[in-house]
Structure 1
Amino acid sequence: MAESSQSSQSTEDVFTSLLYEIFTSPLNLFLLVVCAVLVYKIFRPSDAYSADFGPVEPPLPKMKRQDLTLDQLKQYNGTDEHGRVCVAVNGKIFDVTRGKKFYGPGGRYSALAGRDATRALATFSADDVKDCYDDLSDLSSMQMDSVLEWEMQFTEKYDYIGKFLKPGEQPTEYSDEEDSTKDNNKTKKDE
């Protein structure tokens, strides 16, 4: 019985000395506060996390499949009422609204929003975006390989909207059935 009393006494002494060490040392007190904040951030509910960044915008409905000219594409630069952002890459238009923080107003790649980004992606320079149709005939084979890699990345990550039309080219008429068939095929491939 004396051993259990002695054991409990030594446990109390260790605990008391630990508390004394924590609360009398400013460094230990600071580390304790940092640990408490980190534990709170790890275990707090996810709604509190989104509250830090303001209200979460509901996702926009999927864009109807359509071909666009450069003038039509310019409307999708993220400044309209819906904030929709589209980018053309190698003759294809992608809805990049999901990446609005990068492509939308104030984003790192906002210069590409509502424009043909092919040349800029090929040369790795946002300054190379043109305000007229660009036939890309002067790009090297290495730059075109880079364009094809970018096109593949956009295809995997964003929704394909339609073709980027050359001046005088007529748009394709897409039906709602064609849109849903392509969406179903994409979903089956993803599974």
Structure 2
Amino acid sequence: MSFEPKQKVELDAPRDDPITLDYLAKCDGTHADYPTYVAIKGTVFDVSGNKAYGPEGSYKLFAGKDASRALAQSSLKEEDCSPEWEDLSDEHKKVLNDWFTFFSKRYNIKGKVVRANSA
């Protein structure tokens, strides 16, 4: 996987705003008033400009979720879109880290997912 974008992307400084799961769920590309977000390992990326994550896009199932497990497993199954990835094989963790690097070179980081039960 090549990590460098074909054209240089000017990214904003990464933010670490707390983003709730409820808010993230609204950022699924179907609400005009919300951006489109995909989270990887709890880090939230703004993919609004990429139609692939929109309602008709081939990656729409990742939008509004932490899709770590699905990305690590190269899966497009809805049931694999979950934030749990720690139990995966080292090979899958490497794939996930590659995806994280890929996203971090193309999309602005908007914050971190906060679990409802975390203090």
**TM-score category of the 2 structures, normalised to the smaller one:** 0.7 to 0.9
**Matching residue within 96, 102, 115 for 1:166:** 115
Q: Structure 1 residues 169, 116: CA separation in 2 closer, same or farther (over 3 Å shift)?
A: same
Q: Give the unaligned 5+ runs of structure 2.
A: 1-14
Match status 1:66 vs 2:17: yes
Q: Identity of aligned pairs, percent? A: 35
1:159 to partner: Cα distance: 0.4
Q: Which runs of 5+ in 1 are unaligned?
A: 1-63, 171-191
C-alpha displacement of 1:142:
0.9
Figure out how many residues of one structure are paired with residues of the other and give that number: 103
Counterpart of 1:146 in structure 2 is: 95
Shift of 1:70: 1.9
Structure with higher RCO (Cα < 8 A, 6+ apart)? 2
Separation of aligned partners in 2, 1:143 and 1:167: 27
How far is 1:83 from its partner? 5.4
**1:113 corresponds to which of 59, 63, 67:** 63
Q: Would you tell me which structure has more strand in proportion to its own residues?
A: 2
- Paired with 1:102 and 1:118, the residues of 2 have a C-alpha distance of 17
1:182 counterpart residue number: none
Mapping for residues 10-89 of structure 1, pairs under 5 Å: 66-82=17-33, 84-89=35-40
Deviation at 1:104, TM superposition (A): 0.5
Once the two structures are TM-superposed, the CA of residue 136 in structure 1 deviates from its matched residue by 1.9
**Separation in 2, partners of 1:68, 1:126:** 24
CA distance in 2 between partners of 1:140 and 1:166 (Å): 24
Q: Which has the higher helix share?
A: 1
Larger Rg computed on CA atoms: 1
- Residue by residue over 1:34-65, the C-alpha shift from the partner in whole angstroms, topping out at 9 and shown as x without a partner, is xxxxxxxxxxxxxxxxxxxxxxxxxxxxxx86
CA RMSD of aligned residues (A): 1.7
Contact 2:70 2:76 (C-alpha < 8 Å) held by counterparts: yes
| Cα drift, residue 105 of structure 1 | 0.2
Q: State the Cα deviation string for residues 131-160 of structure 1 (Å, max 9, x = none).
A: xxx332321111111111111111110000
AA aligned to 1:70 is L
After TM superposition, the score normalised by the length of structure 1 is 0.50
Corresponding residue number in structure 2 for 1:104:
54
* 2:78 counterpart of 1:129: no
Instruction: Output the amino acid matched with 2:22.
Output: D
Whole-angstrom distance in 2 between the partners of 1:167 and 1:142: 30
